Amino acid sequence: MKFVIIGGGPAGHQAATHAARLGATVTVIERDVVGGAANLWDCIPSKTMIATGGAMSFARRLEGMGLEEIKPEIDRDGLAERIEAITGRLHTGFTSQLQSQGIKILRGTARLTGLHTVMADTVDGEIELSADAILISTGSRPRIPQWCTVDGDRILTTRDCYPPKEIPTHLVVIGSGVTGVEFVHMFSSLGSQVTLVVSRQQVLPQKDAEVAAALEEDFLKRGVRLLKGARAESIERDPDTGGVVVSCDDGRVVRASHGVLAIGSMPNTENLGLAELGVDMDPGGYISINQHCVTNVAHIYAAGDVSGKLPLASVASMQGRKVAEHVMGLHTREHRHLDYDKAASAIFTEPEIADVGLAEADAFALGRKIRVTKVPFSASAKALINNDPRGFIKIVSDPLTGVVLGGSIVGRHAAELISVIALAVTAGLKVSDIAESMLVHPALSEALADAAE
C-alpha cells in the first residue's frame, strides 16, 4: 500500500506513523516542518507563552504562599529562545520518529496532478509520486478580513506573537472565541493592558454561560476591558502615536499600542488540484468527508483543520489514526468511529477551562432530562493548599442510568482533570464508577469523585 500524505501536522504525522506500523509504505510531503502549524505557530508557542505568563501571575501571588513577593520582569529574548527550543525539540522528535519507522519525508509543496499522482515541488526540483491512497492534511491559517492589513509590527495575527517584537503596552484583541480569550490571558499575565472586542454579549459564545461568566469575572478583576456587542470593522495604524485605532460597528473606537486578530481560520486547500479532480469542498473551502475521513473520491482522504470538523490538534491526530486504519482496511474490525461530540477541549486561561460531551445548556435546548452535579474547588483541600480555590467541576449524567454524558471544569489543571470525564464519556462509564474510584488525597481530582456523588 503506497500512502502519500500532504502536510505533516498532527493529522499527517499520526496517519503516517500509524499506517507505517500497520505495514504501509508512507511518504509525507511537508513544505515547512514536521509537527505542522500546531507545533510551529499555534498550540505549542501559544501555550509556552501562557506558561511564562502563568509563572508571572503565580509570582504575583507568592505572598499568599507565605513567601515574600517578587516582581518578575520579562526577558523577551529569553522567551523567544525558550519557544524556539521547545518547538525545535518537538520537531526533531517527530522527524526522528517518522524516520525510524522508514517513513520518507519530502520537504516541498505538494499538489495532486492525477487521481493517483502527487507532485512535490522540492529544492531538488519536482518529484512525482504514485499513490494508492492520499491524505490531504494541509491545515489552516489565520483568517484576515478585507478591512485589515496585517503589518506584523503593530497589527498582528496570532502567528506574529511568539513573542511579538515588543510586549504591547495596550493590546486590543479582536475576537472572543478560544484563541481570543487565550491571547487576552497571555498578554494580561505578561503585563499588557488588554481590551477585548466581543461581538456578542458573552465571551466564548459557544460555551456554557456559567463557564464564560467565571472567565469574564477573572478578566474584569485583572482590569481587562470588555467591549461587548461590538464588531470591529477596521483596524489602522495611528499616525500620531504609531499605535493602532480599532473602529467598531456601534461607533466605539479603541486606541491601543497593538492589535491582534483572533477571528478564526481558513483552510489551506487552494492550489492542491482538488477542484480539478472533483474533490468536494464546501463554500468555505473545507473538504467534505464521511465518518472515515474519506472524501467523495474513494482513496482520497482529508483530516485535520481542512476537514472543517473541530479545529483541534487532538481531533486532527485522532482523525489521522482513523485514516490509517481505513487505508489499511481495518475499519471493519474492532474500530470505534469518530464521535466529535465526545472530544475534550481546553482553554488555557486563568482559571483554566475544559469541557467534554453534553453541556448543560445543550441538554436543555434539546429538552433532554439530565442530572447536573457541581462541586466548587473552594471545598477542596488541595485547591486551598495551592492558594487557588477558583472554579468548579460540573458533571452531566443521565438521571436514569447514571451514565456520564459530559462535564465542565473551571480551575487549575482543568485540562488534565477533564481526562477522567472524557474517558467516562467515551467508555460509557457511570457516575458511580468515578465516585467509587479511590483517588489520591489531597488532590484536585478528589473534587471529581465528589461531583460524581
Instruction: Give me the least distance between CB of 26 and ligand FAD, in Å please.
Output: 15
365 by Cβ neighbours in 10 Å (0-12 / 13-18 / 19+) ranks as exposed
Q: Out of 3, 4, 18, 47, which residue is the one contacting ligand FAD (CB under 6 A)? A: 47
**Does residue 449 sit in helix, strand or coil?**
helix
Task: Round to whole Å and give the CA distance between 105 and 33.
Answer: 10
DSSP 31-81: SS-TTHHHHHTSHHHHHHHHHHHHHHHHHHTGGGGTS--------HHHHHH
**29 lies in the site for ligand FAD, by CB under 6 A:** yes
- Select 302 or 448, whichever has its Cβ closest to ligand FAD: 302
Q: Out of 2, 31, 331, 390, which residue is the one contacting ligand FAD (CB under 6 A)? A: 31
| Ranges within 65-124 binding ligand FAD (CB under 6 A) | 109-110
| Ranges within 204-223 binding ligand FAD (CB under 6 A) | none
AA letter at 321 = R
| Ranges within 127-156 binding ligand FAD (CB under 6 A) | 137-140
* Residues in contact with 436: Cβ distance below 8 Å, sequence separation at least 6, in sequence order: none
Instruction: Give me the least distance between CB of 422 and ligand FAD, in Å please.
Output: 13
- Select 15 or 447, whichever has its Cβ closest to ligand FAD: 15
Q: How many other CB atoms are found less than 10 A from the CB of residue 50? A: 21
**36 lies in the site for ligand FAD, by CB under 6 A:** yes
**163 lies in the site for ligand FAD, by CB under 6 A:** no
Contact code string over 335-374 relative to ligand FAD, x by CB under 6 A: ----------------------------------------
> Which residue, chain included where needed, has cell 456523588?
453
**446 lies in the site for ligand FAD, by CB under 6 A:** no
> Which residue, chain included where needed, has cell 442510568?
401
Rounded to the nearest 10 degrees, the angle between the axes of helix 209-221 and helix 178-189 is 20
Q: Out of 15, 19, 27, 42, which residue is the one contacting ligand FAD (CB under 6 A)? A: 42
Sign of the alpha-carbon torsion through 359, 365, 368, 374: positive
Instruction: Give me the least distance between CB of 122 and ligand FAD, in Å please.
Output: 10
Binding site for ligand FAD (CB under 6 A): 6-12, 29-32, 36-38, 42-43, 46-47, 109-110, 137-140, 158, 179, 268, 272, 304-305, 311-314, 316
